[in-house]
Chains A and B, each alone.
Chain A
Amino acid sequence: MSPQAADTDAALVARMATGDEQALGALYDRYATTIHTLAYYLLGQADEAEDAVEETFWQAWREAARYDASRGAVSTWLSTIARSRALDRQRASRRRAEDPLDTTAATSPDAGDRADAMAPAPDPQRDAESSERARDIAVALARLPAEQREVIELAYFGGLSQSEIASRTSLPLGTVKTRARLALEKLRAPLAQHREGAQ
């Protein structure tokens, strides 16, 4: 095993912070598919998703020195950047739409089929462990009560704020907060199982 392959995610980010572009390459190799999957799901267009992937890793490179492990895993940090970049693109796309037309909609059949995308993935994976983890989390998501799943999907995939979710669902803000917390906590069990399995 090469020294680079042995590096943890956090070690790669630390090397990036010192200007080591090989570490950026290694992190990209590990997470390009994960980040592209998320970006494509949010944007529904291959070109847009690929641009979002590049922006994500570029931002990670520029902000590597500010990465704080106490605020979440590297994978979480990258996903947060990717989601943010993709939602920015989604909003920019809406703003650009010529009045009176609106491009709020997902722009491909794939993006519209969220319920399908949430289903356990029988798709062959390059990384079997990652595939198994994705399946388990998808199952956990599918088992959430619909009203809890709706809240976290509106926030995570729709980029809505808590006030917007409350307005969209006609729920009190307190209920939105409670449902979000309950939903996230229910996703923790399959995650913990895979973390233990990985150790």
Chain B
Amino acid sequence: MSAALGHDAVREMLALAALDALSPSERRALEAHLRTCALCTRELAELRDDAASIGASLPARPMAPERESRIRARLMARAVADREIVTPIRQPRGALPSGAAPARPALVRWLWAAALLIAAGAIAYDLSLRSVIQRLSVARSELRDSTTVLQQRLAEQQAIVAGLTGPGVKVIDAAATSARQPYARMFWDQPTNRWTFVAYNLPAAAPGHTYQLWLITRDQKKVSAGTFAPQANGSALVRATYPLASDSLAAIAVTNEPAGGSPQPTTTPFLVGAAKTD
């Protein structure tokens, strides 16, 4: 959608624009309209505030104070370093000596030309230096980001391996209760409270629905371990961290729930696995 959009067409899409649910081409068309329409600009601002309130409705979850302080300190340090890098370098001072005796016109012209040449060279050098510093700053930032991503990826892989192979891992198999034959296995790494659920042969959830994984305790408490959608080939992986006493798990189950999940199961589980007592 790259063609210019009419006012009414844009107004219709404002709510979804506020929810950041437009495709890049739709967003470009919208931006083009907003440049000339104060009404839509104002309305979009209001809808954005409305959309942001969805996040504000969540029960507050503060960080641990020491972590909050650590992130604050790191941000401040980065900001100081960043400010020092981007602060414009002072322009070079004039090359003409002050208090020099009056010179003859030809000599003055020559001195002016030389001074201008030197100043131009200095400015060019200055700009080039600044550009190099900024490029290095960006490169450093990108390097740091990619290092962080690699470290996270490694940590994630290690966590998966640890969750499957740890000495305290308990395994619970879940078999289908229907004619189709989905199969699943839960790895419960009891010492770390990590849960790794793998499933195969799952059909796609119905439109508007999602699968939800449950931990069922011996006192029949049903704890959601997350909603998920299988891959096109029917496989799925769910990871969760949840503390549970080693003898309190009765079973795991998967149900079909409305999109977004449910606080408690609303349908009969189609995959169930009883936890064996050690």
- Given A25-B72, A33-B63, A112-B213, are A137 and B53 also a contact pair (CB < 8 Å)? yes
Contacts of B242 in A (CB 8 A): 108-109
Q: Is A63 among interface residues, defined by CB-CB distance under 8 A?
A: no
Which single residue of chain A is at the shortest CB-CB distance from B14? A181
A76 touches B48 (CB 8 A): yes
Q: Which of B78-86, B118-126, B169-177 contacts A (4 or more CB under 8 A)?
A: B78-86
Instruction: Check if B198 sits within 8 Å of A114, measured CB to CB.
Output: no
B97 within 8 A of A: no
Check A168–B208 contact: CB distance below 8 A.
yes
> Does B18 belong to the interface (CB within 8 Å)?
yes
Shortest CB distance A168–B (Å): 6
Chain B 54-68 per-residue mask, 1 if CB under 8 angstroms from chain A, else 0: 111111111100011
A11 part of interface (Cβ distance < 8 Å):
no
A196 vs chain B, min Cβ distance (A): 14
* Total number of B residues with any Cβ neighbor in A under 8 Å: 83
The B244-278 residues at the A interface (CB cut-off 8 A) are 258-263
Contact B21 A72 (CB under 8 A): no
Tell me the residues in window 224-259 of chain B with beta carbons closer than 8 Å to chain A beta carbons: 224-231, 233, 235-242, 258-259
Residues of B with C-beta under 8 A to A9? none
Asked if A8 lies at the interface with its beta carbon under 8 angstroms from chain B, I say: no
> Which of the 9-residue segments B39-47, B98-106, B109-117 touches chain A?
B39-47
Does A6 reach chain B (CB closer than 8 Å)?
no
CB distance from A175 to the nearest CB of B (A): 11
Residues of B within 8 A of A28 (CB): 71-72, 75
CB atoms of B58 and A117 under 8 A apart? yes
- Within 8 Å of chain B (Cβ to Cβ): is A14? no
- CB contacts (< 8 Å) of B58 on chain A: these are 37-38, 41, 117-118, 121, 134, 138
B29 at interface by CB-CB < 8 Å? no
Say yes or no: A105 contacts B207, CB within 8 Å. no
Asked if A2 CB lies within 8 Å of chain B CBs, one says no
A152-B19, A177-B12, A187-B54 given; A36·B45 CB < 8 A: no
Residues of B within 8 A of A126 (CB): 60, 62
The count of chain A contact residues (Cβ–Cβ below 8 Å) is 105
- Those of A75-127 within 8 Å (CB) of chain B: 75-76, 79-80, 82-84, 92-93, 96-97, 99-109, 111-119, 121, 123, 125-127
Q: For residue A97, which residues in chain B have a CB less than 8 angstroms away from its CB?
A: 237
- CB of A177 within 8 A of CB of B236, answer no
Residues of A within 8 A of B213 (CB): 105, 112
- Quick check: B60 and A121 within 8 Å, CB to CB? yes
> Is the CB–CB distance between A176 and B16 below 8 Å?
yes
Which residues of chain B are near A21, meaning CB under 8 Å?
76, 79-80, 83
Contacts of A108 in B (CB 8 A): 225-226, 240-242
User: What residues of B have a CB within 8 angstroms of the CB of A157 in the complex?
Assistant: 54, 260
User: Could you say which residues of chain A place their CB within 8 Å of the CB of B148?
Assistant: 51
**What is the interface of chain B, defined by CB distance below 8 A to chain A?**
12-16, 18-23, 26, 41-42, 44-63, 67-68, 71-72, 74-76, 78-80, 82-83, 86-87, 148-149, 152-153, 156, 198, 207-208, 212-213, 215, 223-231, 233, 235-242, 258-263
Can you identify 30 A-B contacts, CB atoms within 8 angstroms?
Answer: A21-B83, A33-B61, A36-B62, A37-B58, A37-B62, A40-B61, A41-B61, A44-B226, A61-B79, A76-B48, A79-B52, A101-B237, A102-B237, A105-B228, A105-B238, A106-B228, A106-B238, A108-B240, A109-B215, A117-B59, A123-B59, A130-B56, A140-B57, A150-B208, A152-B54, A162-B26, A169-B207, A176-B16, A177-B15, A181-B12
Given contacts A109-B242, A113-B224, A154-B260, 18 further A-B contacts (CB under 8 A): A33-B63, A51-B152, A76-B48, A100-B231, A102-B236, A104-B229, A105-B228, A105-B229, A108-B242, A109-B226, A119-B59, A125-B60, A137-B54, A138-B58, A156-B54, A162-B26, A180-B16, A188-B46
